[in-house]
Amino acid sequence: MAQSPIEPTRRYEGTVEYQKTQQPATILEFNYPEKDLERALEAYLEKKGEKVKTQKGFNTVKSVKLHESENRYYDLYYKIDGTGKGDNARSTLYVIVAEPGENILARDGKSNSAAKAAASVGAIGFLGAMGSTVGAYDLDKRIRDQQEEMEIADRKLTELKKRKEKLEKDLELNAQDINRQINELDKQKTILEQLKAQKKGKE
């Protein structure tokens, strides 16, 4: 069970609404469930020691080092929309990258801070490694799911073994009861024959 990247099917630059403003964002589309994509991203950031907070429909992480390829920090805003389930699941990830402490609501068309942050080495590395990030989470998830399936199968086997032991004990007790009943029947047959013989002797 090798880890395989789950790459976005499409990646492009666009905008996303954030607190009634249109913010430049990198948009990635996945054939992957929304909740799992969100957990994958959260798990990746938490492994880096970051705390993901939810605010106004976005997940936010403050002053995070996006990628080891660059020794700089950024504020990260992201949200995920999704539809469908299983093989039909589709998710869209919107990522806003900002300088630490930057008030993105104050951005205007003249500012190129959004473009600079999105084009940074760290942001490019972070977004470029997204497929590997999701793939690593998916492998861990499959391992957890398989572990759970194995534990369920093990519990069922244990229950069946216990049931078998009980049945075997019941069969043993039943066999003992049968033997006692055979002896009792033979005894009653003998007594009946004795009584019949007595009656015949008196005739």
The amino acid at residue 117 is A
The rounded distance, in Å, linking the Cα atoms of 164 and 186 is: 32
Residue 125 confidence (pLDDT): 85
Residue 173 confidence (pLDDT): 94
How many of the other CB atoms lie within 10 Å of CB of 16? 20
Residue 175 confidence (pLDDT): 95
Phi, psi at residue 108, to the nearest 5°? -135, 175
Residues 6+ apart with CB under 8 A from 17: 23
Residue 154 confidence (pLDDT): 96
Residue 105 confidence (pLDDT): 85
Residue 180 confidence (pLDDT): 95
Segments making up each domain of the chain, as ranges? 10-151
CA end-to-end span of the chain: 92
Residue 56 confidence (pLDDT): 82
Please, where are the H alpha helices in the chain? 34-47, 113-118, 121-128, 130-202
How many of the other CB atoms lie within 10 Å of CB of 123? 21
The rounded distance, in Å, linking the Cα atoms of 158 and 162 is: 6
57: left (phi over 0), alpha (psi -120 to 50) or beta: left
Q: What is the pLDDT along the chain (203 residues), one digit of tens a residue?
A: 556 889 999 999 888 999 888 888 899 999 999 999 999 999 989 888 888 999 888 999 998 888 887 788 889 999 999 999 888 999 999 999 888 888 888 876 556 666 777 767 778 888 888 899 999 999 999 999 999 999 999 999 999 999 999 999 999 999 999 999 999 999 999 999 999 888 887 76
The rounded distance, in Å, linking the Cα atoms of 58 and 2 is: 32
